[in-house]
Structure 1
């Protein structure tokens, strides 16, 4: 919320508007006086890393009645406030819309009573503009993918659950953990996906989850017992605070604990995370979300007119959206109505479209198929699917692999993992992965399969294609999932281009982008980029504290990214950097001199006004000006030009951006995209098989000596659209043929030639 306040106020100032901060929510509007304060640029510095809200929030009973809203109207008119940007849940947004609907009548009443002049009534009081921003950890608002605060809350939950899992493993215990969410199970479901929980209870979908069991007690205990027999040392159950059973009765953690202890005899503990989920430093994504939505809210105020409906600013993937506020509130309330009618399918459909997909993916990757599943494939269509990691490690690689392996197993396929990428396949370091092999991979950073930059290419210094084709045949590969960065993309491209010479490569091949640099063409996001951003923002927060303590100090922080400025741009926006230097804009002496003059003005102004000097950071992408303006050289130039007014230091973050526990967002994206990858591989392979079956072609691949007992259907996919890159573009999951994507790629600079969506954020940072 603080990042939102900062963005709204500073963007308003930049557009020559006058921002006021209303303290304690609607209560501040009703009370007026010192509860409504005009804010300037300096009032908002240093608030980005703070949890909660610096302007306060409170429930206000008087505002729910007309006299209370009349008092609020009076205070606003007297201060000249003719627009209100509200950050809150459905109740707060509904209250704002009511105020707008009554506004004309309220102003008229104040004018009749002589409390406002006719000039005020026809001037600032003539119209009220309302814009809503959704601040809710529950993520329960319809018509937006995510709400401000939800991602940070998920971070807090996952941090706690990761610690609880360690304790559970040590003591072989079961833990039942209650998380917030009211009537929305988003936090519970995403946390279950992000930590690989054994079971989850949601308000929208009461258990049992499948038709194989008569009640949830039998279903849950069967799952836990089977996991224990397979060697699991822990059991983790997540319960949303609004969870219910099929009869709409509340389902509490204590009841779940009682069932586990009675039926399974497991030592079980209950943990309620409570308000720890609401606090703490905001995540990088929440800072980005609040900043871009806050800026858009100011634009919406300036664009509004008396005929437009009050808008709600939302988000669909990386695209900021504007939808009718009350339509969103109405749809949100309809979810609870569906649940009360026991129409759980409709309740699921009213959530964000990805909610149901995430739920289905979680169920299929959690429930080991002890009986044929409805979506399991016939024996004639079961595939041998290779999985490998290529390039540098990135957060989410392991989570994607785990989900892919478990889905493939549940559908009757055989997943084969290559250790250390394609080199491992050639060396014969290949293993048939089972359910337990990937247990616990969701929360692990790095690459459990192992990864390197070796890739197949028709060049002597790379892996020889003929040898690789022989290995494809030797292991009977019928589909391939490549998880990795730009080397993964070029590997798939080279395999696709070599199909005419090597028919072994004529199988469905899909690349799931995973790199901190986020430079893979064909997608807006790569796995690992959010984990890296959180590492950068956390480091910058600490560096700024050091810089502030030393007073006049500027840090030049070097971040990774190669020729792609994504990390520097998003990191600078989320960390509150003074500016960021990226290859897309280049760097020269004129730009450096402009920034130095800006810094000098800021420090001089702070001294003149007696304001404590602020610690500042500048983010530099590792490749920008690499031959001339190195990080150390930039610090030297700035230090010399400052003439003693302030100091300059350096910080090179290096490989800490690639390591650590993956962020919850990267884990959830990994699961979502892995499911889509498996679905695509199946669809493409099955289309090939159906063509052969319809043509009465019953040929099978000739079995090699290594796998004599395996007879496999003949998959043959020579078309260019059967080797693709999966991506998130705008609000859609896309499958782009690598050949077409290569046409919009600068292979030398290792990035797309098209203007990236995030580049416009450079201006917003400044």
Structure 2
């Protein structure tokens, strides 16, 4: 982005150490120098703790090196310590420049263009411990490492009926421990912000004993490395292990994950977040003035923002102080909006059959749960959370197997019909299972509306939770519209979006889309390796998504695709000609360089004419032997295996929100008022970081104003603005500058002005 904006970019190797030492540790960077960075873990330019930068003499040398290299802006990616040091460096900058002149190290005319330093911070922290942002770069990749490790422990734990105490990072922040506990269904969790109360030993043993009595064969306890009790006495993994061994006679092991949590490839969310924040960092640097407070790039409610760096650092330190002062309520409040909700969700799904949480008999419901549409990661964790909530509150959870066709045709089958009550032990193992354990398909109630209504009455459903994609949205709409004819549908209906296409109106995020994107990323990374090894090869990869280009666009951003073709833009011959010419120039410039593999992504319905294979064939023909192309179609592989941690934790949060909403509607409106209440049929959605309920019906409802029924997608697709960023970062020529017929000069965002290519 810096090069695109006309700036000169440098990489400072080994952190502040490189800034102080200068020389070859400060290197100019071009487009090709960062090729392949997206798929690599860690940092490819190195990082190190630098004691000399903490002293003024070190910062003076750093300032001199920056001036010698012609740098007047600095983008720092690190934790709060690195960012605080950068802000101090900026505040001292005028005096450092003055000292360089007064001591004769530099001349006045040499430093004149560098009287002011602009800095921007990017937060890189696996702990997600900076206040003022919903996520930090690296936290979700680390969470993925943890969940992979815990998933692997499941098998041996269940086989031997063992307990495992797993220690994760987080000295002052319990985000990793809490999210890992939700994503893996641990039996107990210890976090610094919410230490257990006096008597926690008995509480933990009671919960584990209860779970064991229900038939659970494995026990998992997750503990943050900074865990302590309410008197700040440290709680260690070995203490917990000894307690379980002694009091419960449970064969228990300790696993400390350590620095494995920092390794591996970055997941989709971290690639997207770091890319978009990097783009915003360049914009912030260019727009800064000497009076602008040092900004840090954050994400709030799914929007990239600029926040006051030192205010965020101060808030972070305030959390640590609140913990030290034993003000744990304040510590929880100072975390991001989602943190407290996630903790409450975890407690609700763990405290199974707790008498104090059960509702009185008249307020209890028979809640039907159905999966509709194609399988998506997160369907099972969402169902598990909904079942756990129901059992905790005294409701009866009922699973409808194999969607609406199963309900219509097989509800009365013997010995097992398609309508079955779900027990806690049935659903608990679903926490990390992909696909749909109760079965799903695209069938709709309209195939036999009368039979659907009959089964609703027969089994006395009081509420319905539909988990699925656009078909689930359509099914809820059909039943809502049929209420005048069928009384059975006058119950609260709620759709929890779960589809890889992320095309359900009323939400910016659907369960399964993150799992799909991560699966697609790893597929593309492997394909790129093949393409790069062959040096001169282009792969055209087909993504799913229906008439929505969300998957292709987001994946293109995260893998550095050369071009992305989506239904919203379509494909034409001029577009292909421009991209093929761009490929020719790229391969000519690469001259056999490594990491030179090229990937083009095409949504499966981007064009009826220009198919994936057809595009690959055109590229091969037009290459005239200079390079070659291949088509690759991952197909249903994109649905993924186990759901990603993000899909799991959001499934839990949203499912519990759904159940709370159904409780509230059931209690307050009753059947007689259900049809008149627009909020009796809704979609739950994540808009930004906020969970919202949007009505299907009514003049302003999603059916009338929010849905493109023809193309099966929302009318306003929030992600479309990112498509331009994909093209900019790939260096793809702009369409308006590519008119070969008129002979105008073309402007290539990577190679600069280019003579007409006719």
TM-score range, shorter chain: over 0.9
Task: Establish whether residue 482 from structure 1 lines up as the match of residue 466 from structure 2.
Answer: yes
Task: Establish whether residue 310 from structure 1 lines up as the match of residue 268 from structure 2.
Answer: no
Deviations 1:51-89 (A, max 9, x none): 110111111111111111111111111211111100000
Alpha-carbon distance in structure 2 between the residues aligned to 1:757 and 1:48: 20
Is contact 1:556-1:649 (8 Å) kept? yes
User: Which residue of the partner structure matches residue 675 of structure 1?
Assistant: 656
Deviations 1:12-71 (A, max 9, x none): 000000111011111111111111111111111112111110111111111111111111
Structure 1: gaps of 5 or more residues: 1-10, 209-213, 690-700, 702-713
SS for the counterpart of 1:681 is helix
Task: Establish whether residue 741 from structure 1 lines up as the match of residue 723 from structure 2.
Answer: no
Task: Establish whether residue 199 from structure 1 lines up as the match of residue 188 from structure 2.
Answer: yes
User: Which residue of the partner structure matches residue 640 of structure 2?
Assistant: 659
Deviations 1:222-251 (A, max 9, x none): 111111111111101111011111210111
User: Which residue of the partner structure matches residue 753 of structure 1?
Assistant: 715
Q: How many residues align?
A: 717
User: Which residue of the partner structure matches residue 343 of structure 1?
Assistant: 327
Q: How does 1:617-628 map to 2 (within 5 A)?
A: 617-625=599-607, 627-628=608-609
Q: 1:439 aligns with which of 424, 428, 435?
A: 428
* Per-residue deviation, 1:717: 4.8
Task: Establish whether residue 164 from structure 1 lines up as the match of residue 153 from structure 2.
Answer: yes
Structure 2: gaps of 5 or more residues: 412-417, 731-758
Deviations 1:297-346 (A, max 9, x none): 00001111112111110112421111100000000011111111111111
* Per-residue deviation, 1:762: 3.9
Q: 1:130 aligns with which of 119, 125, 131?
A: 119
User: Which residue of the partner structure matches residue 133 of structure 2?
Assistant: 144
SS for the counterpart of 2:445 is coil
Alpha-carbon distance in structure 1 between the residues aligned to 2:689 and 2:224: 27
Q: 1:221 aligns with which of 177, 187, 205?
A: 205
User: Which residue of the partner structure matches residue 632 of structure 1?
Assistant: 613
User: Which residue of the partner structure matches residue 260 of structure 1?
Assistant: 244
Is contact 1:361-1:671 (8 Å) kept? yes
SS for the counterpart of 1:372 is helix
Alpha-carbon distance in structure 1 between the residues aligned to 2:276 and 2:547: 24
Is contact 1:606-1:613 (8 Å) kept? no
User: Which residue of the partner structure matches residue 332 of structure 1?
Assistant: 316
Alpha-carbon distance in structure 1 between the residues aligned to 2:611 and 2:101: 64
User: Which residue of the partner structure matches residue 402 of structure 2?
Assistant: 420
* Per-residue deviation, 1:531: 0.3
Deviations 1:604-633 (A, max 9, x none): 1122xx6346111111100011x2111111
CA RMSD in angstroms comes to 1.3
Q: How does 1:77-96 map to 2 (within 5 A)?
A: 77-96=67-86
Alpha-carbon distance in structure 2 between the residues aligned to 1:398 and 1:758: 30
SS for the counterpart of 2:667 is helix
Q: 2:166 aligns with which of 165, 177, 196?
A: 177
Q: 1:563 aligns with which of 527, 532, 547?
A: 547
Change (3 A) 1:244 1:717: farther
Alpha-carbon distance in structure 2 between the residues aligned to 1:527 and 1:187: 20
Deviations 1:145-187 (A, max 9, x none): 1000001001111111100111101111111110111210000
* Per-residue deviation, 1:120: 3.0
Task: Establish whether residue 26 from structure 1 lines up as the match of residue 7 from structure 2.
Answer: no
Is contact 1:510-1:726 (8 Å) kept? yes
User: Which residue of the partner structure matches residue 48 of structure 1?
Assistant: 38
SS for the counterpart of 1:536 is helix
User: Which residue of the partner structure matches residue 216 of structure 2?
Assistant: 232
Q: 1:465 aligns with which of 449, 456, 470?
A: 449
Alpha-carbon distance in structure 1 between the residues aligned to 2:57 and 2:257: 39
Task: Establish whether residue 408 from structure 1 lines up as the match of residue 397 from structure 2.
Answer: no
User: Which residue of the partner structure matches residue 752 of structure 2?
Assistant: none
Deviations 1:445-500 (A, max 9, x none): 0001111111122xxxx2x2222122111111111110000000000111111112
Alpha-carbon distance in structure 1 between the residues aligned to 2:568 and 2:369: 34
Is contact 2:338-2:689 (8 Å) kept? no
Q: 1:155 aligns with which of 140, 144, 150?
A: 144
Alpha-carbon distance in structure 2 between the residues aligned to 1:53 and 1:764: 22
User: Which residue of the partner structure matches residue 4 of structure 2?
Assistant: 14
User: Which residue of the partner structure matches residue 523 of structure 1?
Assistant: 507
* Per-residue deviation, 1:720: 2.2
Alpha-carbon distance in structure 2 between the residues aligned to 1:46 and 1:559: 21
Is contact 2:483-2:675 (8 Å) kept? no
User: Which residue of the partner structure matches residue 285 of structure 1?
Assistant: 269
Q: 1:107 aligns with which of 86, 97, 121?
A: 97
* Per-residue deviation, 1:264: 0.8
Is contact 2:172-2:320 (8 Å) kept? yes
Is contact 2:535-2:593 (8 Å) kept? no
User: Which residue of the partner structure matches residue 58 of structure 1?
Assistant: 48
Alpha-carbon distance in structure 2 between the residues aligned to 1:73 and 1:612: 35
Q: How does 1:570-589 map to 2 (within 5 A)?
A: 570-589=554-573
* Per-residue deviation, 1:262: 0.4
Task: Establish whether residue 492 from structure 1 lines up as the match of residue 476 from structure 2.
Answer: yes
* Per-residue deviation, 1:635: 0.7
Alpha-carbon distance in structure 1 between the residues aligned to 2:407 and 2:594: 60
* Per-residue deviation, 1:759: 4.0
Alpha-carbon distance in structure 1 between the residues aligned to 2:710 and 2:66: 57
Change (3 A) 1:91 1:570: same
Alpha-carbon distance in structure 1 between the residues aligned to 2:395 and 2:184: 25
Is contact 2:557-2:725 (8 Å) kept? no
Is contact 2:133-2:336 (8 Å) kept? yes
User: Which residue of the partner structure matches residue 392 of structure 1?
Assistant: 374
SS for the counterpart of 2:2 is helix
